[in-house]
Chains A and B, each alone.
Chain A
């Protein structure tokens, strides 16, 4: 490790920034470490927000993570607003500047919105999830716009809370992300539990007669007491404007997560090389894997290993737990390694292995795919 390395700044306190901080310490960095997080909350588990946190009766702890042990200075409720590459400083929205010898860019992404209306709810951060929980207590009628995994998890949580729920999706829910076979399994479970699915080529969120509503492509209007959209995410890269580090709204990095020798970018905003081309993989396990590699590279440069990553994805919705290793969506018919259609099953495609209501640890699921 270079002796002159004194200050490392991490912009972002999600699992990517948190993992980078711990990895830097584990690798022996003893200098000043500063983490900047735009939320006032300590780091939490984002996957839990749309799963257990929406369902738990009184337990509001499903998103808790163990207290950090990285000993970093934590600046919470503060946002990075600019980066000066020449002077090696980041600017913060409280007017402060932080100098760095190494920088980790981990500012994640935010929910994409369909309108600027305050009544269009999204679920990205802990405050969003807590607000949604509060609203669900009065069992409002709900329209969820967006038939991806997040939209379906939200719909599942709303149904479980006793709400009448309509899902507005571009085409059949989950097909784009999970393929026909898995989408069918989950959608069937959703319909059995009472979800109404409306397919449309496109929808907007508008305000009419003092209420927020969803307008479908054919002009028909869906009214609901609660409108939630889950239509993708937008990487938080605006603060990097003018640095040349971004392209097409993402931060392209090399196989070690570096954009420059002294700057790493990790998590939802980073686009990294994979065997299937350059990708952004905004998933928990991806953020963890990227951050470990990039933290090592910041300290050891080209001596550090490159990222070798096999995507792990899971969802819980409508009473079904799905765990997947490999490349989604899988195409064609799966092989039933165990179980059978309609029940708990272990499925294999050439490019992915999937456990449906089937308890299996990740290392074993990887072996199923490799077999």
Chain B
């Protein structure tokens, strides 16, 4: 399972980083950084929460 970021869509709200702090964060410039793109079953709930909280649907799970 992989988290995929559509960077042009990202507006830097950062709600995903709050929902999945162990998987992603926004850097000092407000750019989203995926700390781990490959996620395991154990992280699935957190990854899903991050993807679903984004109001501009910039994230998806592939």
* A→B interface (CB under 8 Å): 18-19, 22, 26, 45, 47-48, 52, 62, 64-66, 69, 284-285, 288, 312, 314, 321, 323, 359-365
Contacts and interface: CB of A to CB of B under 8 A. Distances in A.
Contact of A26 (B45, B55, B59, B60): B45
A363 B55 contact: no
Name which of A18, A52, A288, A361 has the most chain B CB atoms within 10 A of its CB. A361
B49 A362 contact: no
Interface residues of B, number: 24
Given A26-B45, A65-B57, A359 B52 contact: no
B26 A314 contact: no
A156 to B, nearest CB: 16
Contact of A361 (B9, B14, B52): B14
Contact of A288 (B12, B14, B53, B61): B53
A193 B20 CA distance: 39
Contacts of B14: 360-365
B18 interface: yes
Q: From DSSP, what is the main secondary structure of chain B's interface residues?
A: mixed
Nearest to B60: A66
22 contacts: A18-B52, A22-B49, A22-B52, A45-B56, A48-B55, A52-B56, A64-B57, A66-B51, A66-B52, A66-B60, A66-B61, A69-B48, A284-B55, A285-B15, A323-B13, A361-B12, A362-B13, A362-B14, A362-B18, A363-B17, A363-B18, A363-B26
Interface of B: 9, 11-15, 17-18, 25-26, 29-30, 45, 48-49, 51-53, 55-57, 59-61
A359 B48 contact: no
A360 B12 contact: yes
Contacts of A361: 12-14, 17, 25-26, 30
Contacts of B13: 312, 314, 323, 361-362
Contacts of A48: 55-56
A45 B17 contact: no
Contacts of A285: 15
A49 to B, nearest CB: 11
A48 B56 CA distance: 7
B12 A359 contact: yes
Q: Which 7 A-B pairs have the closest CB atoms?
A: A361-B14, A361-B26, A359-B30, A362-B14, A26-B45, A359-B12, A47-B55
